[in-house]
């Protein structure tokens, strides 16, 4: 089959109870755009509206059965379609928590060798080729800087305002270092109480700014203006797209050790426990290093999407 038609299936980010745009949708839509630019017809439908008559392969997101849309997507197999799943694993789920989706899938896509090995060990009876690491990307436009931005000796953190993303620990570390820090992210239903906690921690210190959701060039300018970007998620970060975009913009990075991508990001920055004490040392380390010392350019979504094509063909075969 020369022309593969791909359907991406995930939660619905436009209506409750899953009304938010997170990293899963960022990389889903990155793949949609990348595949279409490669001439591969690809579209997205939320799981409740998924139909499979006009596609050759279904690519769904999340493998844990606590996400109902992940289970709903397995219905495509009953209609004779091949299923490829991006795992996006939170923590270390038991086999019983992922078995239904893993068994239905022809391929399980992982974002690090650590994650790939976890599934291979969890399902030793499956072919080792079923679990494969694939790249994530950044928008190609991120490299088309329209006007120069002068970096400052400062820290930036992008992420939804909540205890999971852990802005508080970054704030405490930066306050102790007395280095300016800017936060930007979505403010959903639980953000108000958390922001009050952050403001209480700020006290009379004048080195912090709180911004709302930033997208596209507005977000990338913040990455370019900072010396360090921190992503200290707890209890678990499946990957860390913000740090990938930060690297594309020349930022130094600090990444949580509680992540499947800790080995990956450890090649380019500092990995640490996501508490204020360890973040203090990690941020200080990256502030002392030249900005963009990693000097690495992540692939674009089009480049990353190219790696999906042989996987789709093998699944169809």
pLDDT digits (tens, 9 = 90+) for 225-265: 999 999 999 999 999 999 999 999 999 999 999 999 999 99
pLDDT digits (tens, 9 = 90+) for 95-104: 999 999 999 9
Output the DSSP codes for 87-98. ----S---HHHH
Q: Is 219 helix (H, G, I), strand (E, B) or coil?
A: helix
Output the DSSP codes for 124-153. TTS-GGGEEE----B-GGGG--SS-----S
pLDDT of residue 20: 81
pLDDT of residue 1: 45
User: Please, which residues bridge with residue 252 across strands?
Assistant: 228
Q: How far, in Å, CA of 263 to CA of 282, rounded?
A: 15
Q: Are β-strands 228-231 and 42-46 bridged in parallel, bridged antiparallel, or unpaired? A: unpaired
Please provide the CATH number assigned to the domain covering 141-288. Answer: 3.40.50.2000
Residues with Cβ within 8 Å of residue 100, at least 6 apart in sequence: 65, 71, 74
Q: Is 288 helix (H, G, I), strand (E, B) or coil?
A: helix
pLDDT of residue 36: 96
pLDDT of residue 92: 97
Are the beta carbons of 10 and 4 closer than 8 angstroms? no
Q: Is 106 helix (H, G, I), strand (E, B) or coil?
A: coil
Are the beta carbons of 44 and 32 closer than 8 angstroms? yes
For the chain, list residues with pLDDT below 70.
1-2, 146
Residue intervals of the chain classified under CATH 3.40.50.2000 are 6-137+301-316, 141-288
Neighbours of 54 (CB within 10 A): 9
Please provide the CATH number assigned to the domain covering 6-137+301-316. Answer: 3.40.50.2000
């Amino acid at each position: 089959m020369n022309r593969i038609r791909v359907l991406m299936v995930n939660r619905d980010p436009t209506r409750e109870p899953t009304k938010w745009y997170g990293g899963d949708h960022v990389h889903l839509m990155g793949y949609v755009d990348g595949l279409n630019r490669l001439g591969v017809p690809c579209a997205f439908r939320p799981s409740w509206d998924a139909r499979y008559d006009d596609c050759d392969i279904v690519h769904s997101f999340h493998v844990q059965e606590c996400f109902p849309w992940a289970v709903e997507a397995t219905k495509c197999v009953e209609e004779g379609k091949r299923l490829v799943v991006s795992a996006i694993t939170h923590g270390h789920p038991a086999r019983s928590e992922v078995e239904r989706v893993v068994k239905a899938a022809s391929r399980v896509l992982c974002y690090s060798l650590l994650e790939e090995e976890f599934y291979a060990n969890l399902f030793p009876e499956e072919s080792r080729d079923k679990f494969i690491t694939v790249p994530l990307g950044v928008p190609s436009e991120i490299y088309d800087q329209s006007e120069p931005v002068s970096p400052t000796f400062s820290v930036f953190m992008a992420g939804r305002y909540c205890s999971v993303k852990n802005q508080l620990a970054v704030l405490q570390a930066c306050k102790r270092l007395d280095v300016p820090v800017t936060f930007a992210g979505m403010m959903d239903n639980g953000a108000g109480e958390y922001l009050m906690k952050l403001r209480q921690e700020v006290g009379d210190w004048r080195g912090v700014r709180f911004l709302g959701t930033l997208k596209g060039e507005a977000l990338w300018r913040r990455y370019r203006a900072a010396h360090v970007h921190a992503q200290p998620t707890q209890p678990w970060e499946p990957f860390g797209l913000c740090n990938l975009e930060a690297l594309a913009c020349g930022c130094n990075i600090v990444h949580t050790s509680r992540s499947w991508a800790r080995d990956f990001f450890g090649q380019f920055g500092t990995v640490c426990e996501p508490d204020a004490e360890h973040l203090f040392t990690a941020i200080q380390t990256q502030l002392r290093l030249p900005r963009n010392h990693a000097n690495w350019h992540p692939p674009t979504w089009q480049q990353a999407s190219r790696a999906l094509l042989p996987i789709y063909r093998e699944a169809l075969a």
